[in-house]
Amino acid sequence: MPDDESGFGSSQDHATRMNGSSGVEESPSRKMGELVEVMACSGGFEISSAPMTNTLYSMLHKEHREIGKRGVGVQIVNGLKQVVANRGWSDVLTRLSSHWILIDTSGNVQLKLQMNASEAEQEAAEMHPQLLQPLPNLEKTQNDTSRRTENSEKDKTGMDGLRWRAPEVVAGGGSAVDGQKASVFSLGLVLWEIETGQVPFGELDAVNAQRQSATGIGPKMDSLKNEEFIALIHRCVSVDPKQRPSFSEIGEFLYSHPDETIGGSGNEMKEPEP
């Protein structure tokens, strides 16, 4: 296995390729978003500023791009390891979601590192009060697809990020929260999302999606066919942080399993080019 600073092979090994080429050009009509601090997941610990365009969420659920599942997953793991090694703490560890992951036209992955001021203000004003409301009948909520669609459009303000968030983070654990274990919970949902092409708990709005996952009900595994991968995701989204695997264990699994052995159906994606 080739070595790099992150321990899971070179960045070229894991660079993803969209649509079998070097990428897709941005539409001229796409607006440049607010600049945020991002970190490249391959190579050294490189920090830069970039607009929040080409997010993984947008590529999977709005543009329906093809990406290399294993390559993206390994790059995300490498990036999180670099954050811990070089910063120790960052907002991305407790707020990781496909909204916080960017992929450029060459298939290189970047992680958004910090919330901006408007996101922090909205989180304080909106998220926690909603979480205190009574949990509705889940069966009824699952059939109300309009609730999920309406809420998912709030992704730019941060509301939708709740569906990926670890229970202990939402519960207000503060400094007692283990950032690495919290990010593993979110990472498990992101990996499930990449494999299935579906929004985690997509039948629910974001608030109730988070509250359901906090009860120990994980995402549906029906479309996945590899039992080892299913077991890995179940461990990632355990409500007990101590039961979640390490970055290294997740990275080794992704590196050693080609896409076709862990993939699901509904959003088939191509193997990263060598």
> pLDDT tens, 185-224?
999 999 999 999 999 998 888 888 888 888 888 899 988 8
- Residue 225 domain-assigned (yes or no): yes
Nearest to 70 by CA among 273, 259, 264: 259
Contacts (Cβ under 8 Å, ≥6 apart) of 73: 190, 191, 194, 250, 254
Tokens of 90: 């960052």
- Residue 254 domain-assigned (yes or no): yes
Task: Answer whether residue 3 shows pLDDT above 70.
Answer: no
**What pLDDT does residue 100 have?**
93
Tell me the three state secondary structure of residue 101: strand
> Under a CB-based contact definition with an 8 Å cutoff, are residues 200 and 219 in contact?
yes
**What pLDDT does residue 79 have?**
95
> 86-134, pLDDT tens digit by residue?
988 888 999 999 999 999 878 889 999 987 766 666 666 555 544 444 4
Neighbour tally for 212: CB within 10 Å: 20
Q: How confident is the model at residue 17 (pLDDT cuts 50, 70, 90)?
A: very low
- Residue 156 domain-assigned (yes or no): yes
- Residue 194 domain-assigned (yes or no): yes
What does the alpha-carbon distance between residue 204 and residue 226 come to, in Å, rounded to a whole number? 26
**CATH number of the domain to which 204 belongs:** 1.10.510.10
Identify the helix (H) or strand (E) that includes residue 36: strand 35-40
Mean pLDDT, the chain, integer: 74
**What pLDDT does residue 121 have?**
66
**Maximum distance among all Cα pairs of the chain, rounded to whole angstroms:** 51
- Residue 1 domain-assigned (yes or no): no
Q: Report the range out of 57-66, 130-139, 154-163, 170-179 with the highest average pLDDT.
A: 57-66
pTM of the model as a whole: 0.75
**What pLDDT does residue 190 have?**
96
Nearest to 111 by CA among 102, 119, 120: 102
Instruction: Indicate the residue type of 85.
Output: A
Nearest to 109 by CA among 166, 201, 190, 180: 190
**What pLDDT does residue 31 have?**
40
Q: How many domains is the chain partitioned into structurally?
A: 1
- Residue 270 domain-assigned (yes or no): no
Q: Which domain holds residue 154?
A: 11-261
> Under a CB-based contact definition with an 8 Å cutoff, are residues 194 and 69 in contact?
yes
